[in-house]
A = this chain, B = another copy of it.
């Protein structure tokens, strides 16, 4: 096979879920299904044909009927339905950020593709897209080089974060946006749940952290700021893999700092919000830099 049908498999799963939820009502027109599944009619028809062959539905032109309820065996495995780019990003970042790979390592495209068992072309695409993040560098006609998550890199990344988030906060308060305020209210509730909850709740913090900073950056209403926030959230997300020490405590503390910022924003108090943000960024930087120092020592 020259191209894998991940989208097809993903849509099979989505349609089966729709059927589980709504029964036969899920089987509308082909165009309608294409719209709700967010794929082309061609793919939808392939899905319908597949489910027909599997005996889940009867399909003859406009006539679509449900023959039996979907069974677990009808679904494709999650690994087969995620996009290649997603899979590559996950496997690559996990591989790099776990810290087994020393800075200066030469990356061989073919070998990496084999190692991750993912298409070479997709891997190249990922590497190219990932290069501006600064972790890797392409040597034309030669190879890719892993530059590593050095203390300098972390410091520079964080400096930009501080610049962007400070600016975003200013605008968020000066020119409030109803949609953002609503998102912020929802986020506030989720934060309260984490600070009030026990150890388990505190461990859900990383996702919340990413959402908080993304929202803050969106406040700048600037695509470059939002894009950067996505970059940094990837790095920070994988960074959480390293430092499990005092994790629950640290997360509860950070959640409290987030809440202080959120409350100040909702109250429209610019000064208090900026102060709270500055405090939070100091804490976050401290957490990150101590971990990076440890990381750098481990690698040298």
Task: Collect the chain B residues with CB atoms within 8 Å of residue A7's CB.
Answer: 141
CB-nearest residue of chain B relative to A167?
Answer: B163
CB-nearest residue of chain B relative to A157?
Answer: B224
Does A269 sit at the interface, judged by CB under 8 A? no
Known: A128-B125, A131-B129, A132-B132. A140 touches B223 (CB 8 A): no
Q: Which of the residues B125, B160, B220 comes within 8 Å of A225, measured between beta carbons?
A: B160
> Does A132 contact B227, Cβ atoms closer than 8 Å?
yes
Map CB proximity to B onto A158-183 as digits: 1 under 8 Å, 0 otherwise: 01100110010000000000000000
> Does B129 contact A223, Cβ atoms closer than 8 Å?
no
Does A21 sit at the interface, judged by CB under 8 A? no
Does A29 sit at the interface, judged by CB under 8 A? no
> Does B125 contact A223, Cβ atoms closer than 8 Å?
no
Whole-angstrom distance between the Cβ of A89 and the nearest chain B Cβ: 14
Which residues of A from 210 to 250 have beta carbons under 8 Å from B? 220-225, 227-228
A43 to B177, CA, bound (A): 59
> Does A224 contact B156, Cβ atoms closer than 8 Å?
yes
Task: Collect the chain B residues with CB atoms within 8 Å of residue A164's CB.
Answer: 163
Query: SS class of chain A's interface: helix, strand, loop or mixed?
Result: helix
Whole-angstrom distance between the Cβ of A147 and the nearest chain B Cβ: 10
Task: Collect the chain B residues with CB atoms within 8 Å of residue A222's CB.
Answer: 156, 159-160
A157 to B222, CA, bound (A): 8
Q: How many residues of A contact B (CB 8 A)?
A: 28
Task: Collect the chain B residues with CB atoms within 8 Å of residue A125's CB.
Answer: 124, 128
Which residues of A from 104 to 148 have beta carbons under 8 Å from B? 124-125, 128-129, 131-132, 134, 140-141
A228 to B227, CA, bound (A): 13
> Does B160 contact A83, Cβ atoms closer than 8 Å?
no
Q: Which of the residues B128, B156, B163 comes within 8 Å of A163, measured between beta carbons?
A: B163
Task: Collect the chain B residues with CB atoms within 8 Å of residue A160's CB.
Answer: 222, 224-225
Whole-angstrom distance between the Cβ of A63 and the nearest chain B Cβ: 29
Task: Collect the chain B residues with CB atoms within 8 Å of residue A59's CB.
Answer: none
Task: Collect the chain B residues with CB atoms within 8 Å of residue A76's CB.
Answer: none
Task: Collect the chain B residues with CB atoms within 8 Å of residue A134's CB.
Answer: 223-224, 227
A186 to B280, CA, bound (A): 42
Q: A128-B129, A132-B132, A134-B224 are in contact. List 15 more A-B contacts (CB 8 A).
A: A83-B140, A129-B129, A129-B131, A132-B227, A134-B223, A153-B223, A156-B223, A156-B224, A157-B224, A159-B220, A159-B222, A160-B222, A160-B224, A160-B225, A163-B167
Can you show 20 pairs from A to B with CB atoms below 8 A apart?
A: A7-B141, A83-B140, A85-B140, A124-B125, A125-B128, A128-B129, A129-B131, A129-B132, A132-B132, A132-B227, A134-B224, A153-B223, A156-B221, A156-B225, A157-B224, A159-B167, A159-B220, A160-B224, A163-B163, A224-B228
Can you list the 4 inter-chain pairs with the closest CB atoms, starting with the nearest? Answer: A156-B222, A160-B224, A128-B128, A134-B223
